[in-house]
Structure 1
Amino acid sequence: MVFNVRDSFLSIKTEFPREVREIEHVWIPMSDGTRLAVSEREILREESRTRKIEHDIIEKVWTLDDFSDEGARRLLKNGIEYGIVNRNIYTITEGDPMSAKVHCEWTLNVGRGEWQTRLESVSTMTANKSHFLISNELTAFEDENKVFIKN
């Protein structure tokens, strides 16, 4: 992949040799010179992603619905489970830049065995001529019990 901006360019290698792609243990170098191995994981839920564009030709509204289930994993070393699901919806009306809006819903799960936690975040951003307007609600759960909420 090459990006060319006037007389400068950036070249990014997008393919790696077969032996690098198939390596079983990946090491992360730390600032003190030690190396950490990436933990082996069990896949609990596969990733999935959809992106849908909708155009309401009567109302002249464009919508991009971007859904991502980043899957769920269990670290074999300690049994920690984690997963993320998010949906980001962008809308705008033709000829009306102030109608632009993004609505985001994210869910993060972390737990081990019987102990399970979940964070849910719902955010909306709009704008007027002078300000960005942002709202957010964060809700935390332990098991299915709501233990924290912040607007």
Structure 2
Amino acid sequence: MSGGPADTRRAVAQGTFDLIHPGHVHYLREAAAMADELHVIVARSSNVSHKADPVLPARQRRDVVDAVDAVDEAHLGDESDIFVPIERIDPDVIVLGYDQHHDESALAAALADRGIDCEIDRAGPREPKYDDELLSTGKIVDRILERRG
């Protein structure tokens, strides 16, 4: 595989995107700036194993991501094989979030094993713009529990 049509550079961003916050929007905007089209793969709840279970259902998270202006199309991840949507989208670049847990060399090897020829890049961090701005779903949940729990 070699990416999208010759005149269209296609990027993929991926994540859980639970309770969208300014850090997510920053990541999606940076990913969109690396290509002509941005496709976003929203993880199925059953595939989220590195942090707390998402609060929102996968379809709702996908719909909210799809509403972000920087996103051309949001997709649900495959329940059994995370590479299925990447094969279907055929990206030129996969853009990881600055703090995502992925091992870039292991990801590159897995992509090569599947015949997926694309770059891997990483978005930069976004610092809070004011003292009480929350850039983490976990911190948003903690604040909700603190104030309303």
Instruction: Tell me which structure has the larger Cα radius of gyration.
Output: 1
TM-score w.r.t. structure 2 length? 0.18
More helix by percentage? 2
Of structures 1 and 2, the one with the larger relative CO (CA 8 A, separation 6+) is 2
